[in-house]
C-alpha cells in the first residue's frame, strides 16, 4: 500500500499514469550528505535548472516496515509548512485539498515528494551550514548574546508552529541546523518525524530524546505545546555552559532528575553568566507545565528581547565542555521514551 494515499492503485487511469513522474525524470541524485536509521540524504540537482540544488531524503520502505505512520506524519506536518508540495507516485491521489500552505524562514521546507515500489523520496530545502554545536565549537568568539540570538530564532519558529497547532516533540541540537556556512546564517529546524498536529489539544504518546524530554511526558500524563518549551530550555542551558542540565548513565536515574526538575548553575561554569539568563532558563524548565512559559512569553523575556544578555566571550569554556560531553552517542539517539519507562 502506498504511503501517500489509501486509494486502490488499480483504479488509476491512463491519464494518471502518463502524468506520473519518477525522481529520475526531474533530478540527478548525487553525493551522500548523511544517513539515518531508515533513510539516507543525498544531494539532488534539478535537471531543468542545474544551478538549483536540494536535499533528497530517501526512505527505504522495507527498513521502515511497521513505522509507516511516522513517515506519513512527518510528511503531513512538512506539507503544512511548505509553500506547495507536488507529489509523483503511483497512487493516483491528489494533494489539492491538503490545506493551506504555511511557511517560516527557520523551518526546513518540503518541496516535492516521489514514491516507487521500494523507496520514498522527499525533496527538501538544502541546508549546508552544519549542526548547531559543531559551529559553536568552530567559532573563535561566542557570547550570551550569540546564544540569545540563536534561541530567539528557535522560539520564533516554534511559536509559529504552535499557532498552527503543531508540536515538534523532539527539539534537540541535532535538529537545529545552520542554513549556510555564512557567519550570519540563520538557524533551521528540521526532522519532524515525531511532530504531531494537535487535534484535541493534548497528547499522550511518550516519545522524544531522553535528555530533552519534559517531565509530564515521563510522568505519562497528557501533554501539549509546553513540552517543546522545556526542550528549548534544555538547549538554552547547554548553549551557556556546554553540558546538559540532567545526566546519568542510567536512564531511570536520569528520568528521576528530570521529573524533579533537579538542575544547578554550577560554579565556575556559570559564574560569568547573567542572572537574566538563569531566570530565563528557570521559566522554561519549570516542572509544572501550567506555570511554564509559552514561546510568546519567552520571546518577551529581557534576555531575549532586551539587552540583558552579556557580551563576555564564553567560547573557551563552552566549546571545551561541548567537545567533552556531546561525543556521547546516547545524547544523539532518539527513542520512544515509553519503551524505557515500561521496561
| C-alpha span between 292 and 286 (Å, rounded) | 5
| 268: preceding bond cis by omega (within 30 degrees) | yes
Q: Which residues are annotated as a binding site?
A: 57
Concerning whether 170 is annotated as a catalytic residue, the answer is yes
Query: Cell numbers at residue 45, please?
Result: 540537482
Kindly list the distances between the CA atom of residue 343 and the CA atoms of 253, 303, 305, in Å, as whole numbers in the listed order.
14, 41, 43
Residues 6+ apart with CB under 8 A from 336: 206, 207
**Cα torsion through 18, 23, 25, 30, rounded to 10:** -170
Structural contact between residues 261 and 187, judged by C-beta atoms closer than 8 angstroms: no
| C-alpha span between 300 and 38 (Å, rounded) | 39
Q: Which residues are annotated as a binding site for ATP?
A: 57
Q: Which of 89, 146, 159, 170 is catalytic?
A: 170
Structural contact between residues 200 and 207, judged by C-beta atoms closer than 8 angstroms: no
Q: Sign (positive/negative) of CA torsion 57, 63, 65, 70?
A: negative
| C-alpha span between 57 and 139 (Å, rounded) | 29
- Half-sphere exposure (CA, 13 Å, Cβ side) for 18? 3
Query: Cell numbers at residue 204, please?
Result: 499522550
- Of 171, 140, 169, nearest to 153 by C-alpha is 171
| C-alpha span between 173 and 231 (Å, rounded) | 10
Catalytic residue annotation: 170
Amino acid at each position: 500500500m502506498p504511503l501517500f494515499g489509501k486509494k486502490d492503485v488499480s483504479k488509476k487511469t491512463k491519464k494518471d499514469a502518463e502524468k506520473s513522474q519518477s525522481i529520475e525524470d526531474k533530478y540527478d541524485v548525487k553525493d551522500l550528505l548523511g544517513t539515518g536509521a531508515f533513510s539516507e540524504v543525498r544531494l539532488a540537482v534539478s535537471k531543468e535548472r542545474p544551478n538549483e540544488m536540494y536535499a533528497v531524503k530517501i526512505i527505504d520502505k522495507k527498513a521502515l516496515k511497521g513505522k509507516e505512520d511516522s513517515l506519513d506524519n512527518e510528511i503531513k506536518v512538512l506539507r503544512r509548512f511548505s509553500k506547495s508540495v507536488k507529489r509523483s507516485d503511483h497512487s493516483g491521489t491528489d494533494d489539492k485539498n491538503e490545506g493551506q500552505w504555511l511557511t517560516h524562514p527557520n523551518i526546513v521546507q518540503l518541496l516535492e515528494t516521489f514514491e516507487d515500489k521500494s523507496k520514498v523520496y522527499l525533496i527538501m530545502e538544502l541546508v549546508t551550514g552544519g549542526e548547531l554545536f559543531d559551529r559553536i565549537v568552530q567559532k573563535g568568539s561566542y557570547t550570551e548574546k550569540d546564544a540569545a540570538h540563536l534561541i530567539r530564532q528557535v522560539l520564533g519558529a516554534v511559536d509559529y508552529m504552535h499557532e498552527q497547532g503543531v508540536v515538534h516533540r523532539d527539539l534537540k541540537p541535532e535538529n537545529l541546523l545552520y542554513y549556510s556556512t555564512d557567519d550570519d546564517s540563520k538557524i533551521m529546524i528540521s526532522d519532524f518525524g515525531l511532530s504531531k498536529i494537535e487535534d484535541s489539544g493534548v497528547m499522550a504518546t511518550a516519545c522524544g530524546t531522553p535528555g530533552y524530554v519534559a517531565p509530564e511526558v515521563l510522568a505519562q500524563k497528557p501533554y501539549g505545546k509546553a513540552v517543546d518549551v522545556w526542550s528549548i530550555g534544555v538547549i538554552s542551558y547547554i548553549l551557556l555552559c556546554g553540558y546538559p542540565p540532567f545526566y546519568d548513565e542510567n536512564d531511570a536515574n536520569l528520568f528521576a532528575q528530570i521529573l524533579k526538575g533537579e538542575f544547578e548553575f554550577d560554579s565556575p561554569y556559570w559564574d560569568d553568566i547573567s542572572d537574566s539568563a538563569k531566570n530565563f532558563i528557570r521559566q522554561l524548565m519549570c516542572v509544572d507545565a501550567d506555570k511554564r512559559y509559552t514561546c510568546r512569553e519567552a520571546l518577551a523575556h529581557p534576555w531575549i528581547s532586551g539587552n540583558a544578555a552579556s557580551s563576555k566571550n564564553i567560547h573557551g569554556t563552552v566549546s571545551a565542555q561541548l567537545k567533552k560531553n556531546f561525543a556521547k552517542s546516547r545524547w544523539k539517539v532518539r527513542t520512544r521514551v515509553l519503551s524505557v519507562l515500561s521496561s
